[in-house]
Chains A and B, each alone.
Chain A
Amino acid sequence: MKLFFYELRKSFLRKYVIVFLIVFSVLDVTKISLNYYQGNIDPILQENESNQGAAEQMYTLTKGSITQDKFTFLKKEEERLGEIYSKKLGNKDENEVTYSGNLYEDYRLLKLYIAEGFHYAENYSQYSKTITKIAEDNIGYYKKQNNFLSAMENKFIADTYSRRNITSFYRSDAVESYFDDFFSFILILIMCFLCIAPVFGQEYETNMNVLLLSSKKGRIKSTIIKMMASLCCGAFITLWFCLVDWLTYHLLCGFEGLDNPIWALPSFKESFLNSTITHFMLSEILLRVLAVIVIVLSLLILSLLLKKPLYVGGSFLVLLGGWYLLSRLSVQSDMLKSLVGLCNPVCLYLNKQLYQEFHYLEFGTRFYLMSNISIAGNIILAVVLILILFGLKRRMN
């Protein structure tokens, strides 16, 4: 445990690392705040003050559990304002209900910020039934054709998408933006580089490598502890920025409807995941940690091989670039390209498509979800990198 602390102290608990962590956290919060106030997260903020108030008022009346009253209210308002809008009845009669002071604006705000989301939630169960029905029909068809793999795929669809519904309506812009925000990934990568790049290099720079090799715990045990400390550091950095992201979004936008199923978010309409938004948020953090673990292990190998942080940085950039390009091959019909694309940490971290839609790869008589392949591929990659790290260390000793 003491050695672990000292390894942390050597590379991570350093003034410049803490300063960078604080500066990057401020940068992250600033970036999200700017996005928010420019209306890039919640487009309502692009409206003028009275429109914002109107949209908020309409939303307060419709959000939460979808009840008959809310349904009727929305329908009536849509009809009333729709009629005024289509017949150009102008503005406004005495005692007419208006939210923004302008009936045309009311109609636009209602359609844009409320009705669309509300109807999506309300109609989702019908969508689920349609998908399930098509899949069930397909099962029978493919069985007759002796195409058991396609029958299995359709059975999976039927099982996964059946009996789905959305029972409450909440605006999803904030949560969607949270899932799409990858700025902190860049900060995590820079932080990882700052912490991990010198791990092995500094032992050579300070002539401590020979001293370590001449001590009982300085050989394999110290390498294991270095690796563990680096992984903990990578995991901490990831969790820290996830927390900063989550808190900033939550404080600025106020996440709502986190107990809703993930398909309540329109971008996850076709998702095969059967979990709540909260569960997906937590699982996504774990996936990010796994991706960063693979990145940290790669950095450790580069640090061991190249020693000088400048060389480590250069190769790290090339590696990340390669991974990014490969990750774009992930959702492909070509199995080999897909596999290569899926088994890298950048894909695991950035490719939401794998969870938003039903993507799979066929191996023989079975099919596997691409998201699972990506997770398994990255775990295997992590194990291989650990073996390479220890193999290299042993050789270099």
Chain B
Amino acid sequence: MELRINNISKRYGKQYALKDFTVSLNDGIYGLLGPNGAGKTTLINTILGIIKQDEGSIELDGKDVRKLGSHYYNLVGYLPQYPQFYKNFTCREFMEYMCTLKDVPKSQISNRINELLDLVNLSDSTAKRVGAFSGGMRQRLGIAQALVNDPKILILDEPTAGLDPKERIRFRNIISKLLKERIVILSTHIVSDVEYIAKEVIMIDRGSLVKKGTLKELTEQIADKVWEIHTDDTTANLLMELYSIGNVLATEQGYCLKIVSEKCPASGAVHVVANLDDVFLHYFGKEET
């Protein structure tokens, strides 16, 4: 399956939310990374068909999704940002409601719900009201509802926001199970979520594609731009003002700084292995002075 986004642009007034955005996606998990206001949600809403692009097209296996009409919605699953759902519904009622909305055949509803609640570890909470769910349980229910129609394109918008580390790990493990014959787009600004599970990372800023590639490709591209330096208090403060700092560690002698920079930030700085945080900082961090 291939989802092609061809030169799409979306304007609000004179401001571009998406500008000439082009990307091609195949089965697997894609991390969509970008700072706040980069255009992630607009891109997601455009892929979902919630908003219409001003220019460009979105094609699924070579067919314009607009021409697929309502059939396209049956191919898409979505977990919105900060979902609350209906507090007075029980977990099962909510799932049944989503199955009805997404036109799941009646005969399959019960099995499908059992299967999905089992997958997200909510089998014991089917009769519990959604209002009584913790944030993590709600997110897991969110994934389950996104999967009721067995979507070919699954979009998760900030799925781990507000979750504690244990829930985030559990969440990542569930996502990893969903890879098969499916395009999963994971929009987040929590870099580590993407780092562990994404096949490729799409970096977006000001509505445009900044970079797309595997973790290895992206980190290799900035391999000579990540530095580590041990320094004293005064120099550390100065460097923090001038460069994008990936990490600050207090040591007995002063500080150990991880810096992302095109050039060597100071004498004594040495190259270290880059990670996705550094890639993020490189593209969206401080402009060097």
> A214–B93 contact, CB under 8 A?
no
| Binary per-residue interface labels of chain B (51-90) against chain A in the complex, 1 for a CB within 8 Å, 0 otherwise | 0000000000000000000100110101011111111110
> A208–B86 contact, CB under 8 A?
yes
With the chains together, A10 CA to B70 CA distance in Å?
25
With the chains together, A325 CA to B101 CA distance in Å?
43
| Binary per-residue interface labels of chain A (211-231) against chain B in the complex, 1 for a CB within 8 Å, 0 otherwise | 111111110001000000000
A3 within 8 A of B: yes
With the chains together, A15 CA to B74 CA distance in Å?
34
Q: Which residues of A contact B82 (CB under 8 A)?
A: 207
B50 within 8 A of A: yes
Interface of chain B residues 216 through 254 with chain A (CB within 8 A): none
> A217–B100 contact, CB under 8 A?
yes
Q: Which residues of A contact B16 (CB under 8 A)?
A: none
> A14–B88 contact, CB under 8 A?
yes
> B45–A217 contact, CB under 8 A?
no
> B50–A214 contact, CB under 8 A?
yes
Least CB distance, A119 to chain B, in whole angstroms:
60
| Binary per-residue interface labels of chain A (189-201) against chain B in the complex, 1 for a CB within 8 Å, 0 otherwise | 0000000000000
Q: Which residues of B contact A217 (CB under 8 A)?
A: 100-103
Q: Which residues of B contact A222 (CB under 8 A)?
A: 101
> B70–A214 contact, CB under 8 A?
no
Q: Which residues of A contact B101 (CB under 8 A)?
A: 3, 212, 215-218, 222
The size class of the interface chain A forms with chain B is 20 to 34
> A3–B100 contact, CB under 8 A?
yes
Least CB distance, B51 to chain A, in whole angstroms:
9
A205 within 8 A of B: yes
With the chains together, A175 CA to B131 CA distance in Å?
47
Q: Which of A9, A10, A202, A211 contacts B78 (CB 8 A)?
A: A211
> B103–A10 contact, CB under 8 A?
no
Q: Which of A3, A15, A208, A214 contacts B73 (CB 8 A)?
A: A214
Residue of A14, A206, A216 with highest tally of chain B CB at under 10 A: A216
With the chains together, A15 CA to B131 CA distance in Å?
14
B186 within 8 A of A: no
Residue of A207, A210, A214 with highest tally of chain B CB at under 10 A: A214
A10 and B85 contact, Cβ closer than 8 Å, known pairs A215-B73, A222-B101:
no
With the chains together, A214 CA to B146 CA distance in Å?
10
A10 and B88 contact, Cβ closer than 8 Å, known pairs A3-B100, A210-B45, A216-B74:
yes
Interface of chain B residues 21 through 61 with chain A (CB within 8 A): 45, 48-50
A2 within 8 A of B: yes
B97 within 8 A of A: yes
A207 and B70 contact, Cβ closer than 8 Å, known pairs A9-B88, A213-B50, A217-B100:
no
With the chains together, A218 CA to B100 CA distance in Å?
10
Q: Which of B48, B83, B89, B100 contacts A214 (CB 8 A)?
A: B48
Q: Which residues of A contact B74 (CB under 8 A)?
A: 216
A148 within 8 A of B: no
> B50–A216 contact, CB under 8 A?
no
| Binary per-residue interface labels of chain A (1-27) against chain B in the complex, 1 for a CB within 8 Å, 0 otherwise | 011001001100011000000000000
Residue of B48, B50, B85, B145 with highest tally of chain A CB at under 10 A: B50
With the chains together, A216 CA to B102 CA distance in Å?
6
Least CB distance, A308 to chain B, in whole angstroms:
15
With the chains together, A208 CA to B93 CA distance in Å?
15
With the chains together, A2 CA to B98 CA distance in Å?
11
Q: Which residues of B contact A202 (CB under 8 A)?
A: 86
Q: Which of B76, B83, B100 contacts A206 (CB 8 A)?
A: B83
Q: Which residues of A contact B97 (CB under 8 A)?
A: 3, 6
What is the chain B residue whose CB lies nearest that of A210? B80
> A6–B93 contact, CB under 8 A?
yes
Q: Which of A3, A207, A208 contacts B81 (CB 8 A)?
A: A207
With the chains together, A208 CA to B84 CA distance in Å?
8
Least CB distance, A14 to chain B, in whole angstroms:
5
> B78–A207 contact, CB under 8 A?
no
| Binary per-residue interface labels of chain A (174-198) against chain B in the complex, 1 for a CB within 8 Å, 0 otherwise | 0000000000000000000000000
With the chains together, A6 CA to B100 CA distance in Å?
10
What is the chain A residue whose CB lies nearest that of B76? A214
Q: Which residues of A contact B103 (CB under 8 A)?
A: 216-217
Least CB distance, B101 to chain A, in whole angstroms:
4
Q: Which residues of A contact B80 (CB under 8 A)?
A: 207, 210-211
A216 and B73 contact, Cβ closer than 8 Å, known pairs A6-B97, A206-B86, A210-B50:
yes
Least CB distance, B23 to chain A, in whole angstroms:
19
What is the chain A residue whose CB lies nearest that of B148? A215
With the chains together, A206 CA to B86 CA distance in Å?
7
What is the chain A residue whose CB lies nearest that of B50? A213
Contacts beyond the supplied A210-B45, A213-B48: 6 A-B pairs with Cβ under 8 Å: A10-B88, A206-B84, A207-B83, A207-B84, A210-B80, A222-B101
> Which are the 4 A-B pairs with shortest beta-carbon distances?
A206-B84, A216-B73, A215-B101, A214-B48
Chain B contact residues, CB within 8 Å of chain A: 45, 48-50, 70, 73-74, 76, 78, 80-89, 93, 96-98, 100-103, 145
Can you name 20 A-B residue pairings with CB atoms under 8 Å?
A: A3-B97, A6-B100, A9-B93, A10-B88, A10-B89, A14-B88, A206-B87, A208-B84, A211-B83, A211-B145, A212-B101, A213-B49, A214-B48, A214-B49, A214-B78, A215-B73, A215-B102, A216-B70, A217-B102, A217-B103
